[in-house]
Structure 1
Amino acid sequence: MLYRMEGIVIRGTDYGEGNKIITIFTPSHGKQGIVVKGARKPKSRYASLAQLFTYGDFSFYKSGNLGSLNAGEILESYRELRENLDRSAYAAYAAEMCDRVVGEEDASGYLFHQFKACLTALAEGKDPAIVIRIFEMKVVHAVGYAPMLDECAACGRTEGGFRFSAHLGGAICERCRHQDPGALELAPQTWKLLRIFSRIDLRQLGQIDVKPAIKAQLKTAMRRWMDHHLGMKLKSVHFLDQWEKLDELPLPVRRSPPGGQEEQSE
C-alpha cells in the first residue's frame, strides 16, 4: 500500500550498501520506518531528505514493518541544526526523546507540532537550555506524567511555600515535606517558569532571558522528574551534559563552532 505523510527524521541507520533506514515522526501515524535506497551515495536524489531533523513530505510503499521510499520533498531542512554543534546537541536530545516515547502508528499530533516548534526555536537561536526544558515538559504531558505545580500533590494545599518532589508528584507543601526529605527547594522564579512551561505552546515562544542559577534549577527539577517517571536512558543525555558544562568556562576557552572559528562576544 502507498502512504503519503509529512514527518520529521528523528533517526537514521546505515543499511546495506549505500542505503539508509530512517525513522520519521509523523502527526498522524506516530513513528514510521522507511528504507531510502541509495541515500548514502554521492548523487542520490534523496540524500538530503534522509538527513536527521529534515521535515519532509514522504511517499512510501509499506506491506510489513518497514516502508520503502517512493518519492519525497523537503519542506524544511533545518540545516542550521546540523551545522551548529550546540544546536545539534539539543535537537538530537529532543529527537531521541520522541523516538523513545512515541509508538508506531500512534497519533501524536500535539507532540509532533511541539517537536517541530522546538526545532524551529533552536534553529532561530533561542536559548536552547530553555527551549529543551519546555519541550521536556511537553513530553511528560503527552505521556500522562505531568507534575502538579499549583497545589500540594500530597494534601491539595494551595497556599504557602512548596518544594519539588518527583517521588510524590510535584509540588509539596511545608506540612508534607517530611514525606520526601530530598525534595528540591526552588526559587520563586523557577516555580513561575515551571508553571509557564506547563501551559505555553512552543509555537508561541518568544525570546526569554533566564539567569544561569534559575536555568540550573529548572534542569535539575526536570531531570529528576523524567528520570523518576520515564526512566529513559538516552544516549544523547551524557553528551549534552558535557556540552553544557562548556558554557561555564571563561570565554577564551569556550567551544568553537564547526569550521574552527572562535565564537565572538558582543
Structure 2
Amino acid sequence: MLVKQKGIIIKTVDYGESDKIITILNEHGAKIPLMVRRAKKSKTGLQATTQLFVEGLFIYNKWRGMGTLNSIDVLNSHYDLRMDLFTNSYASLCLETIDGALDAEQVDAQLYALLSFALTQIDSGVSAQLVANIVMLKCIYYYGFDINLTQCAIKHTEQPGEFVGYSFKYDGVISRAVAHLDSHLMPLSNKVIYLMAILKKLPLSKINSISIHDDIVEEMSQFILLIYKEYAGVYFKSQRMINQLKRFNINLE
C-alpha cells in the first residue's frame, strides 16, 4: 500500500553499510519508522533529505511491520538548526521530549503541532532554549505529572507577586510568608513562576513573538529539568550535550 503523509524526521539510525532507518512524526501525531534503502549513497540524493528536523511529504510503501521510503518532497529542511551547536542541541531536546511523550502505538496530533511550532519559532530567531522550555512545559502531562504554579500550596492564595519558590515537599509554589516551612525550597523569582504559568497554559496559536531575558530563560530551564527528574525520573540526553557546551564556553572565557 502506497502512503503519502506530511511529517517531520525525529530520529535516524544507520542500518548496515548504506541503509538508514528514520522515524517520522506524521501530521496525525503518530511515530512511523521507515527503512531508507541506500540512504548513505550520494547518488540517491537521500543523505541531505533524511536528516533530523527535515519536514516534508513522505511517500512510502506500508504493508506489515516497517514501511519502506520511496521519496521525500521536502517542505522545510530546517537547515540552519544544524549549523549552530547550541541551537541544534536545544532543537534536539525538543525532539527528545516529544518522542518520549508519545508511546509507539499512540497518536496525538497536538504533539505534531507542538513540534512544528517549535522548529518554526527557532527558525524565526526565537531563543532555542526558550522554545525547548515551552515544549517541556507543554509535555508535562504526557510524562504523568503536573505542577502548581498559580496558587500557594500552603496558604492557597493566588498572588504571583508573593511567590518565592517551588516546594517539592508541598508540591507547589510557596508564598514568602510560609517559605520557612520548607528548608529545601527551590528559590524562583516570581517573574519566572508567572511566565511559566502563562506559557504552560497558553495555546500555541496565541504565542506569537516571544522575547524573554536570557537570565530568566536559564532559571526556567534549571527548574523544568529538575521537575522532570524529580517527578518522572527523566534526564534528557540532549541536555548532557548542552551542559558540555556551556562548560566549554566558560573555560574559553
Contact 1:6-1:57 within 8 A present in 2 as well: yes
Residues 1:238 and 2:240 aligned together: yes
- CA deviations 1:30-51 (Å, max 9, x no partner) are 2111001111101113333311
Q: Does 1:210 align with 2:213?
A: yes
Q: Quote the Cα distance in structure 2 between the aligned partners of 1:71 and 1:10.
A: 17
Secondary structure of 1:236's aligned partner: helix
How is 1:10-49 mapped onto 2 (pairs within 5 angstroms)? 10-49=10-49
**Structure 1 stretch 100-109 or stretch 52-61: which is displaced more?**
100-109
Are 2:134 and 1:134 aligned?
yes
Q: Is the 8 A contact 1:27 1:107 kept in 2?
A: no
Alignment of 1:103-252 (within 5 A): 103-153=103-153, 156-159=156-159, 160-166=162-168, 168-173=170-175, 177=179, 180-202=182-204, 204-212=207-215, 214-245=216-247
- Larger % of helix: which? 2
Segment drifting more, 20-29 vs 149-158: 149-158
Write the distance in 2 (CA, Å) between the matches of 1:217 and 1:15.
40
| Structure 1, unaligned runs of 5 or more | 255-266
Distance (whole Å) between structure 2 residues aligned to residue 177 and residue 48 of structure 1: 53
Contact 1:163 1:185 in 2 (8 A): yes
Distance 2:60 2:232 in 1: 32
Q: Deviations over 1:218-237 (max 9, x none)?
A: 12211111112222232211
Q: Aligned with 1:43: secondary structure?
A: helix
Mapped to 1, the partners of 2:240 and 2:64 lie a distance apart of: 35
Separation in structure 2 between the aligned mates of residue 81 and residue 68 of structure 1, nearest angstrom: 27
CA contact (8 A) 1:90 1:132 kept: yes
Between the aligned partners of 2:240 and 2:198, the Cα distance in structure 1 is 27
Change (3 A) 1:158 1:196: closer
CA distance 1:10–1:179, change in 2 (3 Å): farther
Check whether the contact 1:96–1:236 (CA below 8 A) recurs between aligned residues.
yes
| TM-superposition CA deviations, 1:140-176 (whole Å, max 9, x none) | 1444533111113466443543521345433234576
Q: How far does residue 24 in structure 1 lie from its aligned partner after superposition?
A: 0.9
1:245 Cα deviation from its structure 2 partner: 4.2
When the two chains are superposed, the root-mean-square deviation of aligned CA atoms in Å is 2.5
3-state SS of the aligned residue for 1:58?
strand
Q: TM-score, normalised by structure 2?
A: 0.86
Count of matched residue pairs: 250
Q: Percent identity at matched positions?
A: 25
Q: CA deviation at 1:14?
A: 0.6
CA contact (8 A) 2:29 2:112 kept: no
Deviation of 1:58 (Å): 1.3
Match of 2:9 in 1: 9
- Partners of 1:125 and 1:96 lie apart in 2 by 21
What is the CA–CA distance in structure 2 between the aligned matches of 1:128 and 1:89, rounded to whole Å?
9
TM-score (norm. length: structure 1):
0.83
In the alignment, the residues of structure 2 paired with residue 82 and residue 59 of structure 1 have an alpha-carbon distance, to the nearest angstrom, of 24
- Decide whether the 8 Å contact of 1:28 with 1:106 is kept in 2: no
Structure 1 Cα separation of the partners of residues 64 and 18 of structure 2: 22
Q: Is the contact made by 1:137 and 1:146 (CA closer than 8 Å) also made in structure 2?
A: no
Shift of 1:21: 0.2
